[in-house]
Amino acid sequence: MKKATKKPAKRPAAKKKPFKRPVFHHALLKTARMDEMIKWYADVVGTQPNFYAPGIAFLSNDGANHRLSLVGNPLFRDNPEFRKYAGLHHLAFEYTTVNDLLDTWQRLHDEFGYEPHVAVHHGMTLSFYYVDPDGNSVELQADAFGDWKKSTKWMRESAEFKADPIGKFVVPAKMVAARAAGVKTKELLRRAYAGEYAPSAPYDYRVDLPA
């Protein structure tokens, strides 16, 4: 009589390891204007080189060893067709409060004559976009709710954002003037999103947006 074959015991399914999410650390930009770029980012967002050698620099504006890397080569060429090509549109830096952002607009305006190429209340953020020496867009923003959880919930659930994910264009000077006249932050943002501080002419988003 043939002996029955014993079936191997099933192994328990391997326990899935938890997903570990990294935190975004830095970006690298290629440039033909190394010194101009180092100065511009120092002026605008307070970065300083932690390392600088011919053709390479590592910049930071906090405790990280670097937040922005620059690779320099005078032979790098600008792309006149950047509006039509896929790729990075902007870097973004966040301020703790709307007042910090407005104060920064005033400083950049007064000290350097810098103006945003776009200023917009997106709904979840108030955002001013500047152009660096290489033509990259750099967003300076503040959370309109002062709380990432609240702004995320609004972004996910609000009918306003679904209908208009870009938001309302604003003139920073008008917002600063209204603040100086005593308008508080919450009311200032409400008026901005209602279109009260709109520009007289369209901004240049520096990208060909779909119609």
Q: Where are the domains of the chain?
A: 27-75, 89-211
CATH code at 27-75: 3.30.720.120
Decide if 153 contacts 141 (C-beta within 8 A). no
- In a 10 Å sphere around its CB, with 0-12 CB exposed, 13-18 middle and 19+ buried, how is residue 133 labelled? middle
Per-residue model confidence as pLDDT tens digits over 40-78: 999 999 999 999 999 999 999 999 999 999 999 999 999
Residue type (1 letter), 64: A
CA distance 186 to 57: 40
Decide if 171 contacts 121 (C-beta within 8 A). no
CA 69, 203, 149: angle at the middle one, nearest 5? 60
If you average pLDDT over residues 12-26, what whole number do you get? Answer: 87
The DSSP code for 48 is E
The DSSP code for 117 is S
Decide if 62 contacts 54 (C-beta within 8 A). no
CA distances from 53 to 34, 44, 66, 169, 203 (A): 10, 22, 14, 41, 38
Token pair belonging to 99:
């007042």
Domain 89-211 has CATH 1.10.3470: no
Per-residue model confidence as pLDDT tens digits over 111-149: 999 999 999 999 999 999 999 999 999 999 999 999 999
CA distance 128 to 208: 18
pTM score of the predicted model: 0.90
